[in-house]
């Protein structure tokens, strides 16, 4: 089974699930990132 990356939309067998927040704090959902995008996402959290 493969997953579509939330950011780059590539198919990836390696999936990392993240929580994405919308405009409101209660508006959260789960998305899946490939390995590359997940690393970038982690970096973006650190600023
Ligand atoms: Zn990706």
pLDDT tens track, the chain, 47 positions: 889 999 999 998 889 999 988 888 789 999 999 999 999 999 998 87
Residues for the chain: how many in total? 47
Q: Which of 14, 2, 8, 11 is nearest to 37 (CA)?
A: 8
User: Looking at residue 43, what is its pLDDT?
Assistant: 94
User: Looking at residue 7, what is its pLDDT?
Assistant: 92
pTM of the full predicted structure?
A: 0.75
* Residue 13 near residue 5 (C-beta atoms within 8 A): no
15 CA distance to ligand 1 middle (Å):
9
5 CA distance to ligand 1 middle (Å):
5
30 CA distance to ligand 1 middle (Å):
15
Residue 33, judged by CB atoms within 10 A of its CB (0-12, 13-18, 19+), counts as buried
């Amino acid at each position: 089974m493969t997953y579509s990356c939330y950011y780059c939309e590539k198919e990836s067998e390696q999936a990392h699930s993240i929580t994405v927040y919308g405009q409101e704090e209660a508006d959260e959902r789960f998305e899946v990132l490939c390995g590359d995008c997940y690393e970038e996402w982690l970096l973006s959290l650190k600023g």
